[in-house]
C-alpha cells in the first residue's frame, strides 16, 4: 500500500477489465487486445488470485508495435 502523499504510478499488472476501463474500450475488444498482449510472454498468475494478469509493459509494447502509441 502507498502512504498518503506518495507518488502514484500505474499498476504494473493489468486485467482485461482494467484495460477496458483505462482506454474506454468495449469489454470484447479489450479482451482481444489482452489476449494478443499476453501471447508472447504469457499471463501472470498471483498466488491467492483467480484472475489472469498481463504485464503493463507487454500491453504497451503491443500498442507501440501496432503504431497506436509512440
Say what the pLDDT of residue 1 is. 45
Higher pLDDT, 67 or 21: 21
pLDDT in tens, 17-65: 999 999 899 999 999 999 998 998 899 998 888 889 999 999 888 888 7
Query: Model's pTM, two decimal places?
Result: 0.71
DSSP per residue, the chain: -PPTTPPP---SEE-HHHHHHHHT--HHHHHHHHHHHHTTT--B--TT----BEEHHHHHHHHHHHTS--
Amino acid at each position: 500500500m502507498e502512504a498518503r502523499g506518495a507518488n502514484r504510478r500505474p499498476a504494473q499488472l493489468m486485467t482485461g477489465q482494467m484495460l477496458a476501463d483505462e482506454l474506454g474500450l468495449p469489454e470484447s475488444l479489450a479482451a482481444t487486445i489482452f489476449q494478443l498482449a499476453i501471447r508472447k510472454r504469457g499471463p501472470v498468475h498471483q498466488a491467492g488470485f483467480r484472475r489472469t494478469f498481463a504485464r503493463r509493459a507487454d500491453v504497451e509494447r503491443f500498442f507501440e508495435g501496432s503504431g497506436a502509441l509512440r
